Amino acid sequence: MRPEVRVARRYAKALADVLPDDRLERVLEEVRTVSSFLDDKVIKYFRSPVVPLEKKRSLIEQVLEKIGASEELRKVVLLMAQKDRLGTLREFASEFERFVDYRLGVIKAEITTATEIDEETVEKIRSKIEEVFGKKAEVSVKLDPSLIGGFVVRVADKVLDASIKTQLENLKKAIAD
């Protein structure tokens, strides 16, 4: 694991640990909003050793003020500023989302298909995922025409590949053997 992820995880865990379950989603939205301001230029600015800490702190305070950030988020992010860790804010946002999902019993699933699929099919797959994993599933759909047909479902570290492309590759290997 990269050092910046390790550092960001500590701050994300600290924030998640102080929040009650009923406030997690609200603060997660705040974290996502802060993260939306973080383009590559801003991250480069926060990581720069020549930019004084006070200027970095001032910028992040303006962002936090603009979004009306909660006191808990303000404290954690300003501590990150004090320790010159604002360059890890993207990783922080990602790690915080993982902690929130875990606490709220949510898993992420990604369905990749060759063509558009209707909402009814997405719902059937979502309900099956929830049945198998016993958690609420947040499903995203991605298109990949190279699959030819069928679909690939990724949930955590599990992959169900029912694509025509994979079936053809498996057939090719079987014929070659």
What's the rounded Cα separation, in Å, for the pair 170 and 177?
11
Evaluate if residue 177 carries a pLDDT over 80: no
Angle 37-43-46 (CA atoms, 0-180°, nearest 5)? Answer: 110
What is the pTM for the complete model shown? 0.77
What's the rounded Cα separation, in Å, for the pair 159 and 144?
16
CATH class of 106-176: alpha beta
Domain boundaries, given as residue ranges, for the chain: 3-102, 106-176
- CATH 1.10.520.20 for domain 3-102, yes or no, is yes
Give whole-number Cα distances, 71 to 63, 111, 152, in Å: 14, 37, 41
Over range 129-154, report the average pLDDT: 93
Give phi and psi for 68, each to the nearest 5: 70, 45
pLDDT confidence of residue 168:
87
